Amino acid sequence: MRYSIVTLAREALSGNRGWTPAWREPEPKAEYDIVIVGGGGHGLATAYYLAKEHGLTNVAVVEKGHIGSGNVGRNTTIIRSNYLLPANTAFYEHSLKLWEGLEQDFNFNAMVSQRGVLNLCHTDGQRDTYARRGNAMRLNGVDAELLDADGVRKIAPFLDFDSARFPIEGGLLQRRGGTVRHDAVAWGFARGADTRGVDILQNAEVTGIRVENGGAVAVETTRGVIRAKKIGLACAGNTTCVASMAGLRVPIESHVLQAFVSEGVKPLIDQVITFGAGHFYVSQSDKGGLVYGGDIDGYNSYAQRGNLYVIEDVHEAAMALWPGLGRLRMLRHWGGVMDMSADGSPIIGTTPIDGLYLNCGWCYGGFKATPASGWCFAHTLATGVPHALNAAFRLDRFATGDLLDERGAGAQHNLH
């Protein structure tokens, strides 16, 4: 069923009785060409682009819960491509370009909103760093604007400019950055993949991966054994557990990240704004709630819930930047399990096990990567070799030393 203004009008006039399910609930087949483990944003996008770009439709996405129950439905919805290192810039810019045409492409309203992402700076050194990053972005054809304090004040007059503990000196603005409705991304990719013939198998937890003669040949699931010529792992925070089923140890640590939503208020903040002197970022949803977050909890965990001290930490940073927020009540918060890589950059590529492919290491920035991640992983699965856009994201860089330390924090997972 194609969604359009005509469909909407027809259904409105006929009592909304003609809507069909957005995707099927098929029974698992005994064998597929490709099985993708993980029905999050990346797994579903991979299936979508396998079908759309490579004509491969004998594909299943195997998800242990319902689609969207992982990080794709738990994030704070920010998209941007304001990176410094060439490999990351090219990849995330490709993603932003895919976001820009995504809704027409998969015929689903994902509420892509290019409202701008503004990173604030509070010291001269930080401004120099942002100038360098902005210049790198512009040299790579990515939009970036360096603002002084007055420029920031015009955009966000409600911030504390007059008595702040960390005075705002300016900021780096990417106007093409913004937000996207996260659940709709999962639903849109699921619907688009299903329409092209991909089987989305929900409530099918992978409990084992069969390896024969050095190659992965099947997944054992709670809905039976499924054989596959190729298996792609897109399990985000559960990557280490699932990869270990094939005897593969990956350089990933799982950490909790929390998100927060305030009570709804009238339109207040147009952009996504990040604090530069602490870890806090905020935007406003279409329902009016302020959506915000901060640091990871900082200890290893597979639990999808966070701890109290980070709640305090995030709200302290919020008050330092925007004291008026103290008048609002926090409505809800939740946690997701982050797949933190040792250098903060992702892994998309082959593994030492034949037929087993890996997509992980998204830290807390993988939502913005969803379309490009799926696009590149689909290319890698279809052809057996990485695309130029994900060639640098290979697993063996941690052995060869070709790290992509975007943040300059060294090889320590929890600092990325």
Ligand X SMILES: Cc1cc2nc3c(=O)[nH]c(=O)nc-3n(C[C@H](O)[C@H](O)[C@H](O)COP(=O)(O)OP(=O)(O)OC[C@H]3O[C@@H](n4cnc5c(N)ncnc54)[C@H](O)[C@@H]3O)c2cc1C
Q: Which residues bind ligand X (CB under 6 A)?
A: 37-43, 62-65, 69-72, 74-78, 205-206, 234-238, 242, 257-259, 293, 336, 362, 364-368
Q: Whose Cβ is closer to ligand X: residue 371's or residue 386's? A: 371
Shortest Å, Cβ 333 to ligand X: 9
CB distance 240 to 319 below 8 Å: no
Q: Which of 127, 133, 167, 170 is nearest to 152 (CA)?
A: 170
| Max CA distance (Å), the chain | 68
Shortest Å, Cβ 15 to ligand X: 34
Q: Whose Cβ is closer to ligand X: residue 37's or residue 321's? A: 37
Shortest Å, Cβ 198 to ligand X: 15
Q: Whose Cβ is closer to ligand X: residue 235's or residue 277's? A: 235
Q: Which of 134, 79, 89 is nearest to 392 (CA)?
A: 89
Shortest Å, Cβ 346 to ligand X: 9
Shortest Å, Cβ 338 to ligand X: 6
* Amino acid occupying residue 356: L
Strands 206-212 and 145-148, sheet pairing: unpaired
CA distances 307 to 75, 254, 314, 318, 341, Å, are 17, 15, 12, 18, 22
Shortest Å, Cβ 149 to ligand X: 25
Q: Whose Cβ is closer to ligand X: residue 166's or residue 362's? A: 362
Dist. CA 256–CA 306, nearest whole Å: 6
First to last CA, the chain: 42
Q: Whose Cβ is closer to ligand X: residue 32's or residue 367's? A: 367
Q: Residue 73 phi/psi, 5° resolution?
A: -100, 10
* The length of the chain, given as a count of residues: 416
Q: If you search the block for the tokens 């688009």, which residue do you land on?
A: 192
Nearest residue to ligand X, scored by beta-carbon proximity: 40
Q: Whose Cβ is closer to ligand X: residue 35's or residue 127's? A: 35
